[in-house]
A and B are shown apart, each in its own frame.
Chain A
Amino acid sequence: GEDVEQSLFLSVREGDSSVINCTYTDSSSTYLYWYKQEPGAGLQLLTYIFSNMDMKQDQRLTVLLNKKDKHLSLRIADTQTGDSAIYFCAEEGRSGTGGFKTIFGAGTRLFVKA
């Protein structure tokens, strides 16, 4: 079945860049997403990339997609303490019933040291 994997923990110093990696298995994915979850809160969509794109930049965020290797990464430039959160990678494809289905990774906990 579909699977999304990502490392569970990343620690960086304030001001450095953070790179969170993710691999997925469903080659028919149409969209890939990065969500941010702060403690005790729901998920916030950070950015997304369509499967026919290689890169997308949005202010401090850069998403790289290697479709051949099914590898997705999120780079946060000039990481701040407010960026400390759990980051979820997710892929979206069609479900067996024809609707949309999103598979989430387990989340990477980013810890930013001042």
Chain B
Amino acid sequence: GAVVSQHPSWVICKSGTSVKIECRSLDFQATTMFWYRQFPKQSLMLMATSNEGSKATYEQGVEKDKFLINHASLTLSTLTVTSAHPEDSSFYICSARGAANYGYTFGSGTRLTVV
């Protein structure tokens, strides 16, 4: 079945530095990838929709200059958290829509801790 690889699975960084998270569709082409953020005991919050070869569409309230999304190919999208602060600490999950006309395949998530 469709597989999405996300890494790193966890990262600890210092406040003020930038962190890049990668999301790859391993066995299918994903024209659209999605980035979510999950707060403890809360649901997923869609941050942005990433379309291959074009600018990402950000949800209201998400700072596009802080959360840089690049979708350079049909199998890779990256999320860069710039100038990270402790309040950016969270669980970030990507997903991609596969060839089947239902559902999404999710990556395993990245737990970001900013100290």
Contacts and interface: CB of A to CB of B under 8 A. Distances in A.
Given A99-B49, A100-B97, A44 B43 contact: no
Q: What band does the interface of chain A fall in when counting residues whose beta carbon is under 8 Å from B?
A: 20 to 34
Contacts of A41: 108-109
B52 to A, nearest CB: 13
17 contacts: A31-B102, A33-B102, A35-B106, A42-B6, A42-B109, A43-B93, A43-B95, A44-B106, A45-B105, A45-B106, A48-B103, A88-B43, A99-B32, A100-B32, A102-B34, A105-B43, A107-B42
Contacts of A97: 57
Interface of B: 6, 32, 34, 42-44, 46, 49, 57, 93, 95, 97, 102-109, 111
Interface of B is mostly: strand
Interface string A28-59: 00010101000011111100101000000000
Contacts of B32: 99-100
A87 to B, nearest CB: 11
- Which has the most chain B C-beta neighbours within 10 Å: A33, A43, A50? A43
